[in-house]
Amino acid sequence: MADQALPPYPEFWVRKMRSFFILFDRDGDGIIHKSDYVDTVLNRAKKWMNEQQIKVFYELLDGGWETFMKTETPKDTRTFEDMLHARYFMDFDANMEKNARDWLGTYFDGVADANGDGHVTLKEYTHFLGSFGVHPFSVTPSFQAIDIDGSGLITRDEFIETGTKFLSVMVDTSAKLFWGPFTA
């Protein structure tokens, strides 16, 4: 993929993807290592998740690395350009939206909804985003963006809908806050 030109994505979308990339590129060197994407996140999550949730989370992160950060050659590092290329090819995958919805549904059921009661509270979402290194003070705007009906709880449908929009919508919407603050 490295020899293929990047598509002309809208500037906003590239900035949104940069914000996502920054979640994992904690040292700012422009490279995400698989251990940053999987192990670092899991180590943070162990503070609030049980063993079964950690197992589900590991499978989601590991699968997410292969699916959402896909490259032509397997490797344990990704650059921002790699991620944009992966996203470009996902646009042409007829199953992308279904895969994203399934993946996000499993995230909701097995990880974000920590107590399994069918919705995510602000506290649960703070723990969830905290696993990705998002500071607790930055979570409330993200929570409010996902809580579409303003009930003070995130439903499974709201979680999946907003997460899917984060991945697929190329213009500025509140879905940009799904993974935390818009930092790029």
pLDDT tens string 1-53: 445 565 677 888 888 889 989 988 988 899 999 888 899 999 999 999 999 99
- Structure confidence at residue 169 (pLDDT): 82
How does DSSP classify residue 29? S
- Structure confidence at residue 178 (pLDDT): 93
Tell me the CATH number at 48: 1.10.238.10
The residue ranges of DSSP E strands in the chain, in sequence order, are 31-33, 77-79, 119-120, 154-155
- Residue 93, domain member (yes or no): yes
Query: In angstroms, rounded to a whole number, what is the distance separating the alpha carbons of residues 24 and 18?
Result: 10
- Residue 3, domain member (yes or no): no
Distances (CA, A) of 113 to 64, 94, 109: 19, 29, 6
Residues 6+ apart with CB under 8 A from 67: 99, 103
Q: Which of 44, 84, 49 is nearest to 170 (CA)?
A: 84
Residues 6+ apart with CB under 8 A from 136: 126, 130
- The pLDDT tens digits of the residues spanning 126-180 come to 999 999 999 999 999 999 999 999 999 999 999 999 999 988 888 899 999 999 9
- Residue 6, domain member (yes or no): no
**DSSP SS3 for 119:** strand
Q: 68 versus 19: which is more confidently predicted?
A: 19
- Residue 61, domain member (yes or no): yes
51 and 110 Cβ atoms separated by less than 8 Å: no
- Residue 112, domain member (yes or no): yes
What pTM was computed for the model? Answer: 0.85
- Structure confidence at residue 140 (pLDDT): 96
- Domain of residue 167 covers 11-172
- Count of domains observed in the chain: 1
- Residue 166, domain member (yes or no): yes
- Residue 4, domain member (yes or no): no
